């Protein structure tokens, strides 16, 4: 299968490296990361180790079987415009953080996905596979189609264990809620995920998680968000959350897509405002 990873930063690069074991992979990225991959290959450390010599471009050239979107949520519209130039109806899978992404892709053949793998960009051309998580994909209408079963088999054979589910849209909401528990706290405090196991910080996580569970309940989704967040933290102790990485690099975060949907809760509103402060300063 020919797979294009659009937005190959930390997570996209790790996914691309894994999938290259059985597929022809193109990384679409930019800047020094693109230059380094072209000159030296992609170096992956951590759980996955190796140098992967993959094709890399700054745009989508067309002609692939599957496009995997891993761009920041706020860059989705720009990515869509880029893809549209050569789009011929190929499936687009989104592993992006936050809610509202699938709606933005309504004019495409979209396959929603969720993954909790941890990845950190160390330097241009070098990423760390910092945590092994769960990966789910499915049709947005809940159908268990042959194509998602085929894709899941392919991914699993590459070392990216993937399960097909009939409730992928609910899982995307749950993933956003889990991220709301973890990402803002790590970004504000400047710590890796594992530090959130501290007793004092767990209390804050619990408040955030309970508010998220209430918000999900209103959507007909039952989930103990706090318990699920603790599981993810355990699996990704050495990972720097994407929101922390953004703050450290002076970039905009995805807080509007991850925390804002749960902003009716007081703890979530506080975390939202703190991250916004960091963005502006």
Catalytic residues: 175
**C-alpha to C-alpha distance for 121 and 136, rounded to whole angstroms:** 23
62: tokens are: 């067309």
Using CA atoms, how far residue 25 sits from 42, 52, 278, in Å, is 12, 10, 36
**C-alpha to C-alpha distance for 88 and 109, rounded to whole angstroms:** 10
CA angle 272, 274, 278 (to 5 degrees): 115
What is the DSSP annotation of 231-262?
HHHHHTTTPPPHHHHHHHTT---SHHHHTGGG
**C-alpha to C-alpha distance for 217 and 172, rounded to whole angstroms:** 14
Q: How many helices (H) and strands (E) in the chain?
A: 11, 12
Residue 106 CB burial class (10 angstroms; 0-12, 13-18, ≥19): exposed
């Amino acid at each position: 299968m020919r797979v294009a990873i659009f937005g190959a930063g930390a997570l996209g690069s790790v996914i691309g490296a894994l999938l290259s074991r059985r597929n022809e992979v193109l990384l679409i990225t930019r800047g020094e990361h693109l230059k380094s991959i072209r000159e030296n290959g992609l170096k992956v450390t951590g759980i996955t180790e190796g140098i992967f010599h993959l094709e890399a471009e700054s745009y989508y050239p067309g002609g692939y079987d599957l496009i995997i979107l891993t761009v920041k949520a706020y860059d989705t519209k720009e990515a869509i415009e880029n893809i549209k130039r050569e789009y011929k109806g190929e499936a687009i899978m989104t592993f992006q953080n936050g809610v509202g992404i699938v709606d933005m892709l309504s004019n495409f053949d979209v396959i929603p996905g969720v993954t909790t793998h941890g990845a950190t960009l160390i330097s241009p051309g070098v990423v760390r596979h910092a945590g092994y998580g769960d990966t789910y994909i499915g049709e947005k209408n809940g159908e268990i189609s042959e194509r998602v079963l085929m894709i899941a088999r392919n991914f699993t054979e590459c070392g990216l264990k993937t399960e097909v589910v009939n409730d992928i849209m609910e899982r995307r909401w749950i993933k956003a809620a889990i991220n709301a528990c973890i990402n803002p706290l790590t970004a504000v405090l400047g710590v890796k995920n594992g530090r959130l196991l501290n007793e004092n910080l767990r209390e804050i996580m619990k408040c955030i998680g309970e508010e998220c569970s209430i918000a999900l309940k209103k959507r007909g989704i039952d989930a103990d968000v706090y318990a699920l967040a603790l599981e993810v933290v355990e699996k990704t102790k050495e990972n720097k959350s994407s929101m922390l990485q953004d703050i450290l690099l002076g970039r905009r975060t995805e807080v509007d897509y991850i925390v804002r949907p749960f902003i009716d809760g007081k703890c979530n509103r506080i975390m939202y405002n703190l991250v916004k402060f960091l963005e502006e300063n």
